Amino acid sequence: MSKKVLILGGAGFIGFNVAKYLATNRNYQLTIADNFMKKNRDGEFDSLVSKYGIKVAEDDFSYPEAYEKLDNEYDQVYMMAALVGVDNANNKPHEVIRINTALTLHTLEWIRRSKIRKVVFASTSENYAGTVDAFGYKVPTPEEVPLAIENIAHPRFTYAVTKILGESGFLNYAKMLGFETTIIRYHNVFGPRMGFNHVMPHLVIRFRNGENPYKIYGHDQTRDFCYITDAVEGTVLSMETPGANGQIYHLGTGVEITIEELTRKTGELMGFTGEYIYAPTYPGSVSRRSPDVTKSKKELGFTAKTTWQQGLKETVDWYNAYFDSGKTVPEKISFR
């Protein structure tokens, strides 16, 4: 008998790719729940839903009445729904707090009155934004480091605050209500169709706009970039691997690169021959972040297969094709 699977936030970048992977590789009864805030119910989404008979529950799940559209029993729930992005955090931090806190609370209370076997909660490396800079913890950083932010009043950290709450909420509700849960902390997941308020689409758009000299913001900061297919594989492994209940896992590559390396490689792919200059970074942006992926490799059998260079080419090609077809940015974006 096939498993019943719910993906909350299943129209978002990672959620949709999880849905696509499960639909094409597993015989599951899938339900996607989303509010389609970014109007991402496009042709690719509708084609997947139609081809595989996926149920769709469309509503704003930051309100409790929306959960009446869901069934009361699922084998697996992927909790991917959240308002994300540095621009959202800086420009509307109150909405990041309201939406993400409400999503966590109302999902947990819906689980209280439902029969759910296991939940995977999508968290973030942002949760220890202050761990390295303020306290000097090592990089690559393991999962057991204390979670920390440097300035509780800075809007940049509102997303991290809500995800820290979410981790605590799901781990402790799971203990009290008797369902299984696993926490995954994503590290800069990227790829085609990821939206426009992210570093790689920003880079592509600025190169296409002819910026020269080209500013490299935060050139010496480091990150780990995980391609979407690897992130999806790790997400499903965290759901389906026995013994993962109550555990926290990093999903990344373990490869630390600088923003300058990322920018110059993007420029190479874009055929840029101009000048680069250094520029300040986003306020509140941390200097280094890279995960120790030993635990994910050992306990989940997860190893990223796509290099950041390979993934970057796929991503740049997709965005160039998107703009070359005459399409424009469907949402307001901020480059600083």
In this predicted structure, what is the pLDDT of residue 331?
A: 67
Topology (CATH level 3) of domain 4-188+228-252+290-305: Rossmann fold (3.40.50)
Sequence-ordered strand ranges (E) for 35-171: 55-58, 73-79, 115-124
Residues in the chain: 336
196 contacts: CB under 8 Å, gap ≥ 6: 202, 205, 329, 330, 331, 333
Opening angle at CA 336, ends 42 and 37, nearest 5: 25
In this predicted structure, what is the pLDDT of residue 191?
A: 98
In the chain, count of helices (H) and strands (E)?
11, 13
* Cα 137 to Cα 1, 147, 170, 225, 263, distances in angstroms: 47, 11, 26, 20, 27
Per-residue pLDDT tens for 86-96? 888 989 999 99
Predicted structure pTM score: 0.96
Q: Which helix (H) or strand (E) element contains residue 310? A: helix 308-324
- Quick one: what percent of the chain has pLDDT higher than 70? 97
Distance in angstroms (rounded) separating the CA atoms of residues 75 and 22: 14
**Low-confidence residues of the chain: pLDDT under 70:** 1, 38-40, 331-336
- Best CA proximity match to 193, nearest among 17, 30, 49: 17
Long-range contacts of 150-157 (CB under 8 A, 24+ apart): 150/284, 151/284, 154/283, 154/284, 155/89, 155/90, 155/91, 155/93, 155/96, 156/86, 156/89, 156/90, 156/282, 156/283, 156/284, 156/285, 157/89, 157/126, 157/129, 157/284
In this predicted structure, what is the pLDDT of residue 336?
A: 46
Distance in angstroms (rounded) separating the CA atoms of residues 94 and 91: 9
- State the chain's maximal CA–CA distance in angstroms: 60
Judge whether 113 and 74 are in contact, CB under 8 Å. no
In this predicted structure, what is the pLDDT of residue 1?
A: 66
Per-residue pLDDT tens for 101-140? 999 999 999 999 999 999 999 999 999 988 988 888 999 9
